[in-house]
Structure 1
Amino acid sequence: MPTFFLTALRKDGKMSQGERNLQSKYGTSRRAEAFYNNQMLDYLNTDMAQFISEQEMVFVATSDSNGNCDNTFRAGDAGFVRVLDERTLMYPEYRGNGVMASLGNISENPHIGLMFIDFFDHHIGLHVNGTAEILENDALSTLGIDDTTISKLHQEENGRAERWVIIRVDEAYIHCSKHIPHLVKKSEVIDWGTDDEKKKGGDFFNVRQRK
């Protein structure tokens, strides 16, 4: 296994009281302390940034102001989630179903959890938790990105990015490979932003029949 994410730094104040209570109840405090000390950072190190730059998918967890949760899947070309610096990353929002569930949650509650999993090569995962904000294309310069880099972003996205989600990193840590399945990638052409019902999956779960 590659030595991903092994440079650690003690990060106090990010663990929930619920974590601590259950560690004490179930006798896992010693193991948890070792994990906090050796596997968790409050920034993205070089290995984490490289790992993210290779990924074509990420699972995104958000919740609204009442704590009602939502989990979604985002995908793009390899590196579609960009690491701006060790404490900041961003990903594009493409045309979807118009519901805006994740963005709606972020507008009420900025806390976000990202889960990157490499099913194909390293069979390892990376959690990144932090706070998010929605940024329109015409406001990218507020991140300190120069015009040349902004033009490159638009060119790489081929006009697909309707807006961006910016994440300030609070914690980053490994997800072990023990139960991550080893998958084989198939070559296919992806029609990004399509409204073709068949390509989008149609009524796969037969919801319309109930109405």
Structure 2
Amino acid sequence: MPTYADLMFTDAVHAEQDAIGSKGVYDRRYAEKGDEPLGEDERAFLTSRTSIYIATVNSDGWPYIQHRGGPVGFIKALDDRTIAFADYRGNRQLITKGNLAGDDRVSIFAMDYPRKARLKLQGHATLINASDASDLATLLDTEGQGRVERIMTIRIAAFDWNCSQFITPRFDTVEVAAFIGPELERLEAENADLRARLEAGQ
């Protein structure tokens, strides 16, 4: 597996880095990565996401970003270089599918806003009809999401963890509930105790 720098630091990028004196700053970091499969941390991070952003490029060179989401576990790690998820009925524009027919390369952002963590991945994606891979469709099916129409598999070519700078922490309803739940239970118990005392004339 090439490193993220191998794929992203083109001659044009190196020229821009050279202009501001940052060329070569990352060489040692990426040289140590080498042929690096997805590790336990990366797989755990990806399979605990509730959404990811996927970028493709169309035949005219225009980039397109698609959001895909679901409950925790909707993304599965099939092995240490492949992730996959079920694709359900959406707006039926099929822009990503059309783009992949001409160029299977994708770029992915997986975000953890509360912890200000971001995993960037480059890969080769396929988007096939569920009827053509029924066993995999069953494996990837998530209860309550509807009928699986397609399956996306992504063979990871490279990945990199990004710094937390400028990531604003955000929390979904489940995370907020987990955060305030214990305190809310304590306050409700205290309130019930005070009410009982008042009713008892204490």
Distance 1:157 1:20, change over 3 A: farther
**Which of the numbers 147, 167, 173 marks the counterpart of 1:180?**
167
Structure 1 unaligned blocks of 5 or more: 1-8, 142-146, 188-211
Question: How far did 1:158 drift?
Answer: 5.2
Q: How does 1:64-83 map to 2 (within 5 A)?
A: 64-83=58-77
**1:118 matched residue in structure 2:** 112
Report the Cα distance in structure 1 between the residues aligned to 2:70 and 2:142, rounded to whole angstroms: 14
- Structure index of larger Rg: 2
**What value does the CA root-mean-square deviation take over the aligned residues?**
2.6
TM-aligned CA distance change 1:46 to 1:27, over 3 Å: same
Structure (1/2) with the larger helix percentage? 2
2:195 maps to what in 1? none
The Cα of 1:91 is off from its aligned counterpart by 2.1
Specify the SS of the correspondent of 1:115. Answer: strand
Counterpart residue number, 2:50:
56
**Could you say if the C-alpha distance between residues 183 and 55 of structure 1 is closer, same or farther in structure 2, counting changes exceeding 3 Å?**
same
Taking structure 1 as reference, are residues 63 and 51 closer, same or farther at Cα in structure 2, changes over 3 Å only? same
Question: What letter is aligned with 2:69?
Answer: A
Q: Distance in 2 between matches of 1:175 and 1:70?
A: 21
Distance 1:86 1:105, change over 3 A: same
Match for 2:25 among 4, 23, 31?
31
Mapped partners of 2:162, 2:34: distance in 1: 11
Q: Distance in 1 between matches of 2:55 and 2:97?
A: 11
Deviation by residue 1:69-104 (Cα, 9 ceiling, x = unmatched): 111211111121211111111122221111111111
- Name the residue aligned to 1:193: none
Work out the percentage of aligned pairs sharing the same amino acid.
Answer: 24
Aligned partners of 1:40 and 1:174 also within 8 Å: no
Task: Compute the TM-score of the two structures, normalised by the length of structure 1.
Answer: 0.71
What residue in structure 2 maps to residue 18 of structure 1?
12
Describe the SS at the equivalent of 2:30: helix
CA distance in 1, matches of 2:164, 2:75: 21
Using a 3 Å threshold, how does the CA distance of structure 1 residues 93 and 153 change in structure 2: closer, same or farther?
A: closer
Question: Closer, same or farther in 2 for the Cα pair 1:132/1:49, shift >3 Å?
Answer: same
CA drift of 1:24 comes to 2.0
1:60 is displaced (CA, Å) by 0.8
> Normalising to structure 2: TM-score of the pair?
0.74
Q: How does 1:84-163 map to 2 (within 5 A)?
A: 84-120=78-114, 122-140=115-133, 147=135, 151-154=138-141, 156=143, 159-163=146-150
Deviation, 1:140, is 2.7
Separation in 2, partners of 1:30, 1:17: 13
Measure, in 1, the Cα distance between the counterparts of 2:88 and 2:68: 9
Match of 2:186 in 1: none
- Give the partner amino acid of 2:62: N
Count of equivalent residues: 173
User: Could you say if the C-alpha distance between residues 83 and 64 of structure 1 is closer, same or farther in structure 2, counting changes exceeding 3 Å?
Assistant: same
Deviation at 1:175, TM superposition (A): 1.6
After superposition, the Cα gap between the structure-2 partners of 1:103 and 1:10, relative to the gap in structure 1 and judged at 3 Å, is closer
Change (3 A) 1:157 1:42: farther
SS in 2 for 1:66: coil
